[in-house]
Amino acid sequence: MVEWLQARFVYDPETGALTWRDGKYAGQPVATRKVEGYLVIRPKIDGKRHYLRLHRVAFALMTGEWPPHDIDHWDGVRDNNRWKNLRPATRSENKQNLKGPLHSGSSGFLGVSSRYGRWQANIKTNGRQTHLGYFTTKEEAYQAYLTAKAKVHPFGGLSHG
């Protein structure tokens, strides 16, 4: 698949843009749309339609290999496909770089939820949930989460504050 992509597209690592290599659309951006915040292309390869996320295509074009696992966006912005913003990651590492809760929880803070009328902090590492304690405010619970995250999530990009 990488050779097929290389023959048809040009990736600009400075801007993260993907353009057509040849033909009447040469130099024009590849038709993309956002799916869950990611830019995607929908090429037809060997008669089969594919949905390819642009960050994975960028990785393939830059390295010559299809990514074996996830590709993480350093800044957490899913449509920022500049090369300096992309890095290979396992699924676990990719989840360490979450900037906010995956769903609208009661607190609005990653790793914090309400329980028994107080705020609890939890962190997940290597598939195991660790309880960090109960707190009076959700902000205190979040600070406990951030402190633990700095120790156990080396891929994480959140900072205190």
Q: Looking at residue 77, what is its pLDDT?
A: 85
Domains and CATH numbers, the chain: 2-89 (3.90.75.20), 98-152 (3.30.730.10)
For all residues of the chain together, what is the average pLDDT? 84
pTM of the complete model: 0.67
Q: Looking at residue 102, what is its pLDDT?
A: 53
Cβ contact 15:21 at 8 Å: no
Q: Tell me the pLDDT tens digit for each residue of 9-21.
A: 999 999 999 999 9
Q: Tell me the pLDDT tens digit for each residue of 86-144.
A: 988 877 666 666 655 555 566 778 788 888 889 998 888 777 888 998 999 989 998 88
The C-alpha torsion from 131 through 133 and 136 to 142, rounded to 10°, is: -60
